[in-house]
Structure 1
Amino acid sequence: MKYFRYDLFIAQNTDNLPEEERQEVDRQWQHNREAYSAILKTLSSRLPVDVYAHFNSWGFHDYRLTKMDIEHRSLHDMSVHFTLSSDIDNEENEELWCLCFDKVSYIQYQHLNYDNDQCVMHPEIDDWLYEEIMPVNESMLSFEVLFSSGGNVVLHFPDQSVSIKRVK
């Protein structure tokens, strides 16, 4: 992640950070948010209208990843589906969404929290924190998501090859 970095997230959520460092982290976070917002605006025509609108607001911040499916047809043609829940503990009020990427040509998973005593992508700590949609070139986009567990997924997909659907 270029803008919503895991190290800044950790620093922002550290209780004993000296005030001067906390202010610097907050300044950096605000600067990065503004810089990313400017880039996202340039991608509005490269994303479906509903996808752009969803991620131009709050996205899936604090949703829980309940499932990630990968359909593999070839090295340059995969589909990746994220199923996300707003509240898995309260089924009555739960919103369930599916975020689907088609024609994925690149996928990378890494974890950024080597000190985590739970496995990465652990069901109780894999809240969706931030995502970035960035241009790779004039016809390919990158989608990167950071989870609170330290898990990080990066995908590359062609323009317009993403959809979002509320399941429940």
Structure 2
Amino acid sequence: MALQLGRLPTVPEYYKEYINRSVNLIDEPKQCCPFHKENTPSFSYMREKGVWSCFGACHCIGADVIEMHRRHFKLSTRDEAETSLRKICRCTKKPGTRLEQQRVIVNEGEVEYRQARALAHMLANTPERWVELDYLESKTPNETWEFENLVNKWKGGV
């Protein structure tokens, strides 16, 4: 399967092309984590939320293909990863207008929000935590910092 040029790939497309050609994340969302050595699958792709995470040793989490590319190629920044991936996919058009730049900023904020929310879901391993998380998600709107505070509380930091 070759990546379609001119657009960024989806997480499952990227995984199949660069990480493991024999795996279809849509059909098999639980795999051994590609970012650390293990024998028992701890990596999970959540199709309905579009996020992926490792419940094993590295505890990595990502909300998009750019973060997966950054980790896979050990790139230091998100910008570096996006530039690299856009070059590979020949999808080099960067946002130019002020409105397009604002959309990118909103999308980066959404990435942070989804990462914090996914981490909270990973740590909600008791009925009490699920109730707390359910309450937070029932509030409209909820913010990234609210999920981060919940995660810190559960980790013993707050």
TM over 0.5: no
Q: Per residue, is there more strand in 1 or in 2?
A: 1
Shorter-chain TM-score: which interval?
Answer: under 0.3
TM-score using structure 1 length: 0.22
TM-score using structure 2 length: 0.23
